[in-house]
Chain A
Amino acid sequence: MEMATWVIGGFFVALGGVIVTQLLNGSINTQYLLYGMRRDGTRYFSPERVQLIAVTLWLALNYLLTVLNNPHAQSLPEVNDQTLAVLGGSQLLYLGGKAFSRFGPVVS
């Protein structure tokens, strides 16, 4: 069991390391991550994407810290309704912005 733990743990660490390194050095394309595309093909800086990434990173970090504080729990930590509402709202905002930019009037 110990051996398997080290193997899987090592795999996660190496996988995370490769992905984070490639994200930071540009090997994984992050161009226009925070930009939306309008119907006419032009791009715009997109606040709804910024808030989605901020909320995602905040929730993910919070969740990971909860697990690290109590790794001996019998189940994964529960995600409360308020947190789910924040996530849902954030995703709706993102999707709404994206749909508006694609189907709404072109606003320069």
Chain B
Amino acid sequence: MTSVSGSALDLIAVAAGIVVVLLVAAFGGVVIYRMASNDIDLSRLISEPNGDASTSRFQFLIFTFVIAISFFLIVAATHNFPGVPQGVLVLLGISGSSYLVSKGIQFSDDAGVEDRPPMVMITPQTACVGPKTPPIQFKAEVIRQTNQDVTWSLTSSLAKPGSIDPTTGLYTPPPAADGADAPTSGVVNVKATSKADGSLSDNAVLTLIYG
């Protein structure tokens, strides 16, 4: 009777263990999936409050990761919790203290804390275009935002400002022509607008020199 109830308890313990592992696996899977799909935003994982990347956060992240992976590898190989030597604690202490002191320096000054919003930055910012100018490839970086997609557009008072691919940012100057179809000189604004936030945009200026 005792052995029967003992084996039943073992069975329940194994079943409970499997259920717990499956729950942890499901939870971990959801977290990873949401990180990968940007539902959990990691864009500022190693950033300062002002939006700049932080060296101290980066080194703290690396050391934490390495010690955690090392711990896991030893547990997986030996099925025992390993001892943690004093040197490892000192290493993490140095890394963590440096991080804290770094934050202290950072927070001692408004410029280090003041948050800067996301912004769009176009390159090149200016260009001159003539009848023989080849197409110009514009690039836009959406700083401090995960979604880097932008929409390209042109604004100008000119009748023939050329054209720009709204997706790739490739600008094609107006073809040279004679008479009434001839493009005229003037200024064309190239605008890149963030797809994630329509209020974010940047402009580049093209100077058309024709005729």
How near does chain B come to A31, taking the closest CB pair, in angstroms?
6
Of B21, B38, B94, the contact of A27 (CB 8 Å cutoff): B38
Could you tell me the distance in whole angstroms from the C-beta of A18 to the nearest C-beta in chain B? 5
Q: A52-B59, A75-B82, A79-B87 are in contact. Are A29 and B44 (CB under 8 A)?
A: yes
A70 to chain B, nearest CB (A): 9
A33-B58, A98-B102 known; A84-B91 Cβ under 8 A: yes
- Chain A interface residue count, CB cutoff 8 Å, equals 63
Min CB–CB distance B181 → chain A (angstroms) = 43
Residues of B in contact, count (CB < 8 Å): 67
Which residues of A are found within 8 Å of B55, using beta-carbon distances? 33-34, 46, 49, 52-53, 94
| Known contacts A60-B63, A60-B66: A7-B28 contact under CB 8 Å | yes
The 8 nearest A-B residue pairs measured at CB: A75-B83, A79-B87, A71-B77, A33-B53, A91-B98, A32-B52, A56-B59, A67-B70
The residues in A between 66 and 92 inclusive whose CB is less than 8 angstroms from any CB of B are: 67-68, 71-81, 83-84, 87-88, 91
Chain B positions within 8 Å of A, measured between CB atoms, are 17-18, 21, 24-25, 28, 32, 35-36, 38, 42-47, 50-56, 58-59, 62-63, 65-80, 82-88, 90-91, 94-95, 97-98, 101-102, 105, 108-109, 111-112, 143-144, 146, 148
Assess the B72–A7 pair: CB atoms within 8 A.
no
User: Taking A53-B55, A76-B74 as contacts, is the C-beta distance between A30 and B82 under 8 angstroms?
Assistant: no
| Contact between B85 and A39, CB atoms less than 8 A apart | no
Q: Which of A33, A46, A95 contacts B105 (CB 8 A)?
A: A95
**Between A and B, how many residue pairs show CB distances below 8 Å?**
183
In the complex the two chains form, what is the Cα distance from A30 to B105 in whole Å? 20
Interface of B is mostly: helix
Q: Is A41 an interface residue (CB 8 A)?
A: yes
Tell me the bound Cα distance from A30 to B61 in angstroms: 13
How distant is A54 from chain B, measured CB to nearest CB, in Å?
10
Asked if residues B53 and A32 are in contact (CB atoms below 8 Å), the reply is yes
**Is A44 part of the binding interface, using a Cβ–Cβ cutoff of 8 Å?**
no
